């Protein structure tokens, strides 16, 4: 069994490089050994599996993944931590380190990561920096079908949004798209004391496993459709889409986006596309 770094070892390692956690990069290191193992166990990854990790930090999770036999592509934006990771793990087989932001222009997966993945099926396993979780999950779900699953630690609020149901304040584009394309569940609630430095909010481990039968074959278009609707979530759909639209069964023009299930929103999306095709 892999021995995970202790808090004292993480502190000492960072100090030896003249580093400290950077709030601007959302750096909160998961220091609970059991939770690191829980995340890997939930992902079910092992010998020969390709894993993408974003924000490897000092490499605790990375090392555990490598010891399970995974091939790991890790992306780190902090140049100081890049030095730490290269020195600790640079000579390990089955390990590639990509330096820089995982998202280009904050929206699309960085070309260096795309090149390293080489269109191979992969799983995202990561303690995600707080600022990157939502755009990264949406990007992988809608534009990278090779992302078979994501098993990640995110802010509790993001976990709530991923699993939110219609009529709740957390319900929006992220949850609708995720539930339309994947099976989403919360693995475990993670209190703030499991991290160093301790964040102001709690976190959650979330499992997102891509459906074999997604509700739509046009995930990118559907995501943009949802962004439009939820940007005007209080408006009636007839006012947003036009009352002449042939609304699908169970969806009334005076309904609001926040009241509809993912199945109903996909049906509404299909109805709008059909109407546009007729006009075109």
Across residues 68-93, what is the average pLDDT? 96
pLDDT of 32 over the 80 cut = yes
Residue identified by tokens 């000579």 is 91
Q: What is the pLDDT of residue 4?
A: 77
Instruction: Give the pLDDT confidence of 121-148 residue by residue, as tens digits.
Output: 999 999 998 889 999 999 999 999 999 9
Q: Is residue 122 part of a domain?
A: yes
Task: Give the domain CATH number at 100.
Answer: 3.40.50.150
Residues 226 and 202 in one domain: no
Task: Give the domain CATH number at 233.
Answer: 1.10.8.100
Residues 168 and 78 in one domain: yes
Q: Is residue 1 part of a domain?
A: no
Residues 93 and 150 in one domain: yes
Residues 154 and 25 in one domain: yes
Residues 189 and 244 in one domain: no
Exposed / middle / buried, residue 146 (Cβ in 10 Å: 0-12, 13-18, 19+):
middle
Exposed / middle / buried, residue 227 (Cβ in 10 Å: 0-12, 13-18, 19+):
middle
Q: ∠ CA 226-175-256 to the nearest 5 degrees?
A: 50
CA–CA separation, 62 and 72 (whole Å): 7
Q: Is residue 237 part of a domain?
A: yes
Q: What is the pLDDT of residue 26?
A: 87
Q: Is residue 115 part of a domain?
A: yes
Per-residue confidence at 106, pLDDT binned at 50, 70, 90?
confident
Domain final position from 210, 234, 262: 210
Q: Is residue 30 part of a domain?
A: yes
For 17, the token pair is: 């490089």
Instruction: Give the pLDDT confidence of 182-193 residue by residue, as tens digits.
Output: 999 999 999 999
Q: Is residue 112 part of a domain?
A: yes
Phi, psi of 25 (to 5 degrees): -100, 10
Q: Is residue 2 part of a domain?
A: no
Instruction: Give the pLDDT confidence of 206-250 residue by residue, as tens digits.
Output: 999 999 999 999 999 999 999 999 999 989 999 999 999 999 999
Domain final position from 182, 210, 238: 210
Residues 58 and 152 in one domain: yes
Q: What is the pLDDT of residue 2?
A: 62
Domain that holds residue 226: 219-279
Domain count for the chain: 2
Domain final position from 168, 192, 210: 210
Residues 253 and 272 in one domain: yes
Taking all residues of the chain, what is their mean pLDDT, rounded to a whole number?
A: 95
Phi, psi of 46 (to 5 degrees): -165, -150
Residues 61 and 132 in one domain: yes
Residues 177 and 257 in one domain: no
Q: Is residue 80 part of a domain?
A: yes
Residues 185 and 114 in one domain: yes
Residues 143 and 14 in one domain: yes
Q: Is 277 helix (H, G, I), strand (E, B) or coil?
A: helix
Q: What is the pLDDT of residue 1?
A: 54
Residues 149 and 166 in one domain: yes
pTM listed for this prediction: 0.95
């Amino acid at each position: 069994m892999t021995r995970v770094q202790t808090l004292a070892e993480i502190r000492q390692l960072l100090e030896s490089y003249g580093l400290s956690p950077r709030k601007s990069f959302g750096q909160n290191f998961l220091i609970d050994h059991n939770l690191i193992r829980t995340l890997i166990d939930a992902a079910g990854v092992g010998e020969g599996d390709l894993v993408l990790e974003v924000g490897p930090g000092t490499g605790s999770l990375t090392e555990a993944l490598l010891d399970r036999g995974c091939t790991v592509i890790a992306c780190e934006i902090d140049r100081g931590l890049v030095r730490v990771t290269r020195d600790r793990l640079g000579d390990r087989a089955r390990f590639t380190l990509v330096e820089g932001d995982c998202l280009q222009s904050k929206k699309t997966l960085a070309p260096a990561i795309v090149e390293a993945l080489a269109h191979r099926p992969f799983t995202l396993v990561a303690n995600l920096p707080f600022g990157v979780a939502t755009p990264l999950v949406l990007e992988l779900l809608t534009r990278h079908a090779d992302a078979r699953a994501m098993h990640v630690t995110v802010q509790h609020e993001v976990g709530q949004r991923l699993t939110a149901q219609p009529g709740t304040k957390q319900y929006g584009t992220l949850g609708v798209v995720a539930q339309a394309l994947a099976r989403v569940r919360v693995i475990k609630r993670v209190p703030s004391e499991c991290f160093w430095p301790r964040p102001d909010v709690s976190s959650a481990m979330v499992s997102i496993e891509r459906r074999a039968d997604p509700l739509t074959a046009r995930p990118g278009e559907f995501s943009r459709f949802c962004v439009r609707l939820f940007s005007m979530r209080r408006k009636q759909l007839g006012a947003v889409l036009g009352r002449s639209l042939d609304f699908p069964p169970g969806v009334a023009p005076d309904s609001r986006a926040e009241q509809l299930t993912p199945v109903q929103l996909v049906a509404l999306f299909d109805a709008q596309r059909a109407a546009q095709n007729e006009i075109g």
